[in-house]
Amino acid sequence: MAVIDNTRSTSVSGGGFSALVNLFAAVSTWNDARQTRKSLNALSTRELEDIGLCRGDIDDVAQGNFRF
């Protein structure tokens, strides 16, 4: 009967794994901001006004710097 040992750690020595995680987090954050910016730019001026925004607020909202 075959046995699979799955108790070993998956981390890479030397911090390589954490650098990969940080890179993935940065790409994910950038992509979220890109999608938000794209979605808000697709709205009409009237639709933006309905949610309390103007075109100048889009970059702040995408970067998470806008307070409602």
Six-digit token pair at 40?
């808000």
Predicted TM-score (pTM) of the model is 0.69
pLDDT (average), residues 48-60: 95
Is the pLDDT confidence value at 42 over 50? yes
Is-contact 55 48, C-beta < 8 A? yes
pLDDT at 67: 81
In whole angstroms, give the CA distance from residue 9 to residue 50.
51
pLDDT at 2: 52
In whole angstroms, give the CA distance from residue 46 to residue 7.
57
Q: Which residue has the tokens 């949610």?
A: 51
pLDDT (average), residues 25-44: 96
Q: Which residue has the tokens 């750690």?
A: 9
In whole angstroms, give the CA distance from residue 38 to residue 48.
13
Confidence of residue 14 (pLDDT cuts 50, 70, 90): low
Is the pLDDT confidence value at 6 over 60? no
